[in-house]
Amino acid sequence: MNRAPTPLVSLPDPAAARRWCADWRARGRTLGFVPTMGALHDGHLSLVERALDENDAACVSVFVNPLQFNEQRDFERYPRDLGADAQLLEGAGCTMLFTGTLAGFFPGELDARGELLPAAWREPGPSATGLEGDLRPGHFRGVATIVERLFDVVRPDRAYFGHKDFQQTLVVKDLARALGYPAIVVCPTAREASGLARSSRNELLLPADRERAAVLSRALFAARDAWCAGERRPARLSAAMRTVLADGPATLEYAEIRDPERWTRDEPVGPIERAVALVAARLGGVRLIDNLRLDEPA
């Protein structure tokens, strides 16, 4: 839907955002929330569009959350451009943007070294085991901790997440179930023409690697072809992905199958009736993830 650009309310700290959201809700209006780490792309904008369709306002947070990074270097080089993000959000008709610092999100909850006190952490639920949870220890604990705090600031009716971070959507659903709010809406992955899933991290890829990175989606599509041909054994489906990725430009971390509705730490052994294919690989020093539901129409 084309929306006339509206003036974006831009707030520099969580306290101001909390007041704005409380005032909005006090007027009986609904709020859709899109949490982000910035470096926004079409995938994020599709979440904002959906939030605007389903609520009276869309609110976006931009905060590169240090709690969820395993490597300091990865945190430091994560792309940041708040000015460009604000312009994109204004063009998309977003209502409010807020940002903040760790101390702003957790006032009085940091120690003298600036680290979060143990009581302020949120332990993630059962979906945090396996794959990303095993390869990035503490990552989902950092995600659950900041997302709980972001929800507490905004108190949204609905929160919007991209399917691309599939395991994260499960972790966030675990959290929302424990908190009793908000409704979690998972939106389709936006892809480049090559099939590469849109991601803020794509900005870190060299131009040639950006083309090569489409090998991840080609692997997922190979698993879907096998599924459509009747294959239901997870080991065979993941083997189809590994064949595409073998000797390719990317260093594979995993290419596995899960039942999307019954998350397990390990790949299921017997034939399954629902399947999501998940892949993670490194290319030119950039870690990329992608996934595809095999049991849903393309």
Instruction: List the one residue out of 124, 131, 111 whose CA is nearest residue 238.
Output: 131
In single-letter form, the type of residue at position 260 comes to: P
User: Residue 228 Cβ, how far from ligand PAF at the closest point, in Å?
Assistant: 30
User: Which of residues 171 and 292 has its CB atom nearest to ligand PAF in the complex?
Assistant: 171
User: Which of residues 40 and 244 has its CB atom nearest to ligand PAF in the complex?
Assistant: 40
- In the DSSP assignment, the letter for residue 13 is S
User: Residue 218 Cβ, how far from ligand PAF at the closest point, in Å?
Assistant: 24
User: Residue 288 Cβ, how far from ligand PAF at the closest point, in Å?
Assistant: 14
* Residue 96, number of CB atoms within 10 A of its CB: 22
Q: Return d(Cα 31, Cα 67) in angstroms, integer.
A: 26
Q: Write out the residues near ligand PAF by the rule CB under 6 A.
A: 35-37, 65, 68, 143, 146-147, 165, 168
User: Which of residues 171 and 237 has its CB atom nearest to ligand PAF in the complex?
Assistant: 171
Is residue 163 part of the annotated active site? The answer reads no
User: Residue 68 Cβ, how far from ligand PAF at the closest point, in Å?
Assistant: 6
Phi, psi (degrees; rounded to nearest 5) at 220: -65, -40
CA angle 11, 15, 16 (to 5 degrees): 35
User: Residue 198 Cβ, how far from ligand PAF at the closest point, in Å?
Assistant: 12
Structure tokens at 260: 């999307």
Question: From residue 212, how far is each of 28, 85, 115, 166, 215 by CA, in Å?
Answer: 49, 27, 38, 22, 6
Residue 207's SS3 state is helix
User: Which of residues 205 and 237 has its CB atom nearest to ligand PAF in the complex?
Assistant: 205
Phi, psi (degrees; rounded to nearest 5) at 188: -60, 155
User: Which of residues 147 and 213 has its CB atom nearest to ligand PAF in the complex?
Assistant: 147
Which of these is catalytic: 41, 44, 139, 163?
44
Catalytic residue numbers, as ranges:
44
